[in-house]
Amino acid sequence: MKLLIATLMAAAALTACSSKPAKHEAAKASATADTPTRSADGVLIGPDGKSLYVFAKDTVGSGASACYDQCAKNWPPLVAAPTAKPAGDYTILIRTDGARQWAYKGAPLYYFVKDTKAGDKTGDGVGGNWKLARP
């Protein structure tokens, strides 16, 4: 319960403090410093309970994302809070727009815009390039 309250407070603070519009505002609000993901039904999910994905065109371990512009609109990155620190299998990469994105075992993590609620997995296999992120 304390974690949920802390997460909601952090999300509210991030949203309220943002002075410049960001493409990834929803992802920013849902990212937390301590627990960027958790596992449910064999897949990684973000703090909001929605499924996370990896992109075949990303080079794992490169510290870079290959998903920008329209791609990032359809596949918003799991953005790391400014105070977030890498831990264990989780690292943070800096996107070209300056946003900080979580990566798991070197693979950048993304949401899918068509997943509208927790438990949706509609992005798995899209275009042959997107797969559910697995622990």
| pLDDT at position 35 | 62
| pLDDT at position 34 | 57
Instruction: Report how far residue 22's alpha carbon sits from residue 14's, in angstroms, rounded to the nearest whole number.
Output: 11
CB atoms within 10 A of CB 75: 23
C-alpha angle 70/76/86, rounded to 5°? 135
| pLDDT at position 12 | 39
Token pair of 20 as six digits: 């410049």
Is residue 126 within 8 A of residue 114, CB to CB? The reply is no
Handedness of CA 21, 34, 129, 64 (dihedral sign): positive
| pLDDT at position 19 | 32
| pLDDT at position 23 | 36
Instruction: Report how far residue 97's alpha carbon sits from residue 103's, in angstroms, rounded to the nearest whole number.
Output: 16
| pLDDT at position 101 | 97
Can you tell me whether residue 104 is helix, strand or coil?
strand
Regions of the chain where pLDDT drops below 50: 1-33
pTM, full prediction: 0.75
H helices of the chain, in order, are: 2-17, 25-30, 70-74
| pLDDT at position 108 | 98
Q: Show me where the domains of the chain are located.
A: 2-132
| pLDDT at position 28 | 35
Find where tokens 């890498």 sit: 86
Closest to 26 measured CA to CA, from 6, 48, 4, 7: 48
